Amino acid sequence: MIARRRTIAFAAAHQPKAIALSYALSFTATDPAALWAEAADAAAALVAGEPDAIANMANVAALIWQAVPDLNWAGFYRFDGTELVLGPFQGKAACIRIPLDKGVCGAAARLRATQRVEDVHAFPGHIACDAASRSELVVPIVAEGRLIGVLDLDSPSPARFTADDQAGAEALIVRIAAALAG
């Protein structure tokens, strides 16, 4: 397999003083488990010390978008106590509100269980925000027993997400869940 190298460079703009604090994060892994481990390390570094959940979701959505290949949508839906509401994401404009009894996202939130869907066309109630989506991985975000929302990844390729992708995405979310809770 050809080694991939993706780099994210960013500065900690939230620093109150003009401290020249910058990072260059590289994603060099060629297998999904190692790639997700790199992404989790990078995500943990991105959210460290930042209490704003929206800012953290925005950065993590961008990080996953750059690190993980073959996605057409990557982002968050936030639970407002009643339903899921669109949060920070990368990709095409998407459905804004998703009831917990609708779609792949609703199922992940309601059941508090990851939904890994090989063929979205075969999933009853799938919500087609982007017609290009063929497979989907939705990971619930729970912090201190409270449902925060979901991480939603869409791919234009059928059966794009493996068990390794699921385990990696779940581990990333568990690691940074508190920083997404606000």
Site residues (vs ligand SME, CB under 6 A): 73, 94-95, 98, 103-106, 126-127, 129, 133, 136, 152, 154
For the chain, the first-to-last Cα distance in angstroms comes to 40
Say what the alpha-carbon torsion angle 109, 114, 116, 117 is, to the nearest 10 degrees.
-20
Nearer to ligand SME, 149 or 168 (CB): 149
Nearest distance in Å: CB 138, ligand SME: 7
In whole angstroms, what is the distance from residue 65 CA to residue 52 CA?
A: 20
Nearest distance in Å: CB 71, ligand SME: 11
In whole angstroms, what is the distance from residue 20 CA to residue 64 CA?
A: 25
Nearest distance in Å: CB 106, ligand SME: 6
Q: Are 163 and 140 in contact (CB under 8 A)?
A: no
Nearer to ligand SME, 83 or 154 (CB): 154
Nearest distance in Å: CB 103, ligand SME: 3
Nearer to ligand SME, 66 or 133 (CB): 133
Beta pairing partners, 153: 74, 137
The arrangement of strands across the sheet holding 135-143 comes to 97-98, 84-91, 73-79, 146-155, 135-143, 115-117
Nearest distance in Å: CB 169, ligand SME: 15
Residue nearest to ligand SME (CB): 103
Q: Which amino acid belongs to residue 134?
A: R
